[in-house]
Structure 1
Amino acid sequence: MSASSITISTIAGDDILNAGEAASDLPISGTTTNVADGQTVTVMFNSGTFTTTVASNAWTLDIPAADLAPAVLPDGPHTVSADVTDPANGSANMTRTLTVDETPPAVTAALTTDTGASSTDGVTRDDALNGTGDANATVTLTEGGVTLGTTTADNTGAWSFTPSNLADGSHTITASETDAAGNTGTTSVTFTFDTTAPVAPSALVLSAASDSGASNSDDITNVPLPTFTGVGEDGATVTLLDGSTTIGTGTVSGGAWSVSATTALTEGANNITATQTDAAGNTSLASSVLNVTLDTIPPAVTAALTTDTGVSSTDGVTRDDALNGAGDANATVTLTEGGVTLGTTTADNTGVWSFTPSNLADGSHTITASETDAAGNTGTTSVTFTVLGSSRHHRIEARRRGLAYHMWHVEFICNQRLGREARGVIRSHHRPGRAHAPSPRGHGAHRRGVEALRSGFSPAEHKAKGSRCGALRVLRQR
């Protein structure tokens, strides 16, 4: 009598069961020796019992896929046991280890650098990829079924890959790795590849609201932080530069942009340009240069009496109210008094101007001369003077009444109780041929004609002090 025996053949080709293989029924087979046909073979696997019969010294059976699901069959080594009994030759048994590995490797993939303003928008000019997998595993990169290439993970599982000749546009690239059990792990990364720089911004202008002065289109302004506008690529970031210095940034919306400077322009000439950077980080060439002049300094304006008549040429007491001064060449100078505009005049090409008020009454006056330059800065100055003996009104009145008109500028000394010298003006109207100069005691009309005293005391003061004025001396007649 010979003893019976039984074998179990290699399971799943390598005694390793992967997820793909576990998706179908699993065949297990073997052979027998000295076992009669029809004898029962019992297979024990994962607490399950499965049977078949011997036929021609061989046996086979299938373990249903339902018994191989990960929920039922955990990963790891499992023992497969086969038993058979021959009535004549006794029993036989064999075991075999089956390693179950139904878990695919974990693979990750991402852009190495998501360039541009956002690092998470998936728009980039750099198509390099990286990720992780199993240590030392081979990672295959494909797109649309076309293999782009392979790379090997390092001993930590990290890998990197840069596609060759990837065209601009949208891409979905799949990274896959197959482990030793034959399980394949995959992941995908979708991004937009853009290596084309946008065109330079166009229509760069200084906004009308920031272009101060009489003209809102001459690019002369007194606004240190002005606003500029232009046209660009929707969504692009506009960088505003003065020479090579960034002075502001903004975003194109609806094809247009508006950027207010956050760094002040320099006094004088400024060379303004703009660039735009798209979502992928591609930067355009600079726009055409816009020459902008910043002028925050008011013009220097002077004003003075043209002629300070009388004994003193510096006392500001005059019978001539003509004014002159200096400003910018060819500028318009406006003359005002007490908020009332007296008139305007234009400086010549050297900046000199002159102006004579109309019908200026005798008395004290403060006249302001002002000039506003092209940037909108206004420079002002004032001149204060006293008009005494302005003859226009009196001459007109004399003619109306058929009288002759004379005006005397006189000096007279008041008594020593006042101790002051005064100058004044005496006017008289008289019949033709009867003019006479004033005397210290003077005709009453002469006394009534005293219109101002430079010393500041008045006829009422004279009377209160009991003073008398004498030593009257005619200086000139007009």
Structure 2
Amino acid sequence: MSDFAAVIKSLVGQVFVVSVDGLRRQVFEGDRIFAGEQITTANGGSVTLELANGETVSLGANSSWQAGNAQAQEIADSANQSGSSELEQALAAGLDPTTDLEPTAAGPGSAGGAGGAGGGHSAVMLTETAQRVDPTIGFQTAGPGTPGFNLIEDNEPALFTDSTLPATPNAPDNTAPVVTISIDPITGDDLLNSAELGAATVVVTGTVGGEAKVGDSITLNVGGTLFTGSVVDLGNGVLGFSIPVSAANLGAASAISATISSVDEAGNVGTAVDERPYTVDVTAPIITVDVPAVSNDTTPTITGTTDAPVGSVVTLTITQGNTVITVSTPVLAGGTYTVDVPQALAEGPYTVGAQVTDPAGNTGNATDSGAIDITAPAITVDAPAVSNDTTPTITGTTDAPVGSTVTLTITQGNTVITVNTPVLAGGTYTVDVPQALAEGPYTVGAQVTDPAGNTGNATDSGAIDITAPAITVDAPAVSNDTTPTITGTTDAPVGSTVTLTITQGNTVITVNTPVLAGGTYTVDVPQALAEGPYTVGAQVTDPAGNTGSATDSGAIDTTAPAITVDAPAVSNDTTPTITGTTDAPVGSTVTLTITQGNTVITVSTPVLAGGTYTVDVPQALAEGPYTVGAQVTDPAGNTGNATDSGAIDLTAPAITVDAPAVSNDTTPTITGTTDAPVGSTVTLTITQGTTVLTTTATVVAGGTYSADVPAALAEGAYSVGAQVTDLAGNTGNATDSGAIDTTAPAITVAAPAVSNDTTPTITGTTDAPVGSTVTLTITQGNTVITVNTPVLAGGTYTVDVPQALAEGPYTVGAQVTDPAGNTGNATDSGAIDTTPPAITVDAPSVNNDTTPTITGTTDAPVGSVVTLTITQGNTVITVITPVLAGGTYTVDVPQALAEGPYTVGAQVTDPAGNTGSATDSGAIDTTAPAITVDAPAVSNDTTPTITGTTDAPVGSVVTLTITQGNTVITVTTPVLAGGTYTVDVPQALGEGP
């Protein structure tokens, strides 16, 4: 049976309770909270709860509190004193107490509404008579104002009505019957297995007590599906129930609740609820069994896993032919089991079946099979008897299954190498020794284990011989013999064959020759080689198959060495450097013979790395041509020759340079002439102060050149140096000077900033010479006016715009050019303004401020003065205020106005002298509006209607403040047509003034 745990002492806003069944209801003052229910406050809500021990619990907005069983037990006895609390329990549990009762005066289907659910009055108001009648909806509650009902106050020691108070005459029976209900264990153990759920229904039983009686309604709730029945007599003074419930519904849920509803003769309803959890287990336990696939253990260990509880018995049945062995073993912690077959099995296959039953009676099964094998596998191993392969291939055969691992152990001295390899299809295996063996003998052991664990072994031996025979080969380094003799030595046995391979380009010649006594060999190349390098490879193989090799190279040379000589075509060096190239060997001697007229000079120089040579003529030559002869001899005695010629030139080229005397071009063009050859480069150096610029120009046909200065020069003088070098290295020079003048004449222009003169006078100054022409361009929109005026003595000028301008802004551009062509410019702007400024004025239409604030706007410039004239009867007040940023102004009337209308005039003058005006009117009203308020003197409406009248304008807001004790409620409502207003108190008031 559910018990209440607390009573709502007071609340503000909305407060809700969620029952243990998940039903949500709104609660009010005096409502009770039952054990297990959760109370929550909404936004702006709060609640104070009073517990059985007199303590209070207060919750603020957006808070929650869970009613516990301990608190419920403390107030359980008091709870049984109030029938209305049991009814509230029934309503919270979803009971409709009007189900089988005849309709009330409120009409069919009326369930009492919020009055019954909230612990307040249960009355039906008939609109036809407005008469209050007693409720006939099947229950009664004692609300505030009912005889015998006491409000719970903070200073009262008990939560509920004192049963010792004198009874009120003719008081109705509001006490609900107290009942209890208890569900028996489902299927006797609260555990449903697959067999029990295989039936269509399961009978759920239980007992009831208290004031329950035969025929009371029982409702079972299984996962939201309801099953109903009635209380029956179970004998021996015990009442209870027995209700078939769908097995499918029970299987889909994990708890069942039972509700008893008992109605006494006065129509009071008593309810109680019990809930019983249970377990559904229809799943057979999972079990696995693991038998060794093959084993040489005749009593193999059988293992497995299961989710059956620890201690459950697993029964194993081992079958081999006609032999059947049964053994049991317990489930261990972790859900595993393990057991040895209790008697020896024969060699061959066998099967194992495993079975386990869980506490619910569900049985799980699993099977596996294995085999006993106690015969070792056969194996052979074969290592090469002798090999020069240091990682020889080991092969063999075995009857172990394909995929079995053969372990080979190769032993050589202290070296032991182990390698694994799988058995291949056909029962063979092959593997290379994984690391190089040393030269010498070794042994191999092979081992294989079959799946049952039986091991077979075999051994073999071999030897490694990896020493190649030594050999040398000797070809002449260079020779003019086209069939040179090749010789060499070797430690291969006498009579072994040496194979020589002579390679020259695409030509490959092979010749064999025997090893002679003493380990030598010799042979001539059997066909003539061409001129050039060649290589020789020698190879000999010993009886073990090891091959020794050697190489050498030589060259055939029958050609004289190539040589070139290079004398400078023209040079101003009288001992010029002679260079050249040759393919004669480095260090060969080149002999040079220089001839100029009757002068003959001889000099020698060595060939350098890279085949070059270089030497200076050892004595000075005269200006003019000369010849050079070069000769070199290679080591074979072949001689190569070459000749060249050159000239000595000691005369510098002539050159001129021309810079503009004066220019406003900051990168002036420099020109000049020279007798240096066409294509020669002229280097120009332009110097201005610390600035030095360098540029080049090319001599063109006719002996001229031209180049622009590559960077802008500053204003002032500069110099130019020109230099050209001829082919012989002789240099000619020339210089010139010029000046840069880039300063434009200074000029100013002044147009009136604003003027109502449509042909304003434009003036200005300039440092251009007197008589220079100033050109003025006046632009206004699409209108462009041009006028010229001379510079006057003193550097001034003045001119009127020759045609009328329109109202609005305009610009003026002034330009003057000095004799050097430099142009000075200046601009200014002005405006024609013939329109007075716009202005508005705003006085409050009505105001109780006797010095009201006057505001307005204007397009007059910020800082302009607005003059305000306030007139009320014979009173005239003048005040000035500046125009603010944004074109606004504001000022308070400087002295108090009387109640009544007044006018305001505003005036502002712009900088051009144009004046704008505006007027407005307002009124001073200092009399408060009349208002009345009418609240019902007494009313049973907890949200009474408040009305009243006022002479305030329609739409004015009336603010009502309703105060009851510590409760203060504020509500607003508009004034209606006719000067009335009406509004309901927005939240329920308590009983009292």
**TM norm structure 1:** 0.47
The structure, 1 or 2, with the larger RCO (C-alpha pairs under 8 Å, 6+ apart) is 1
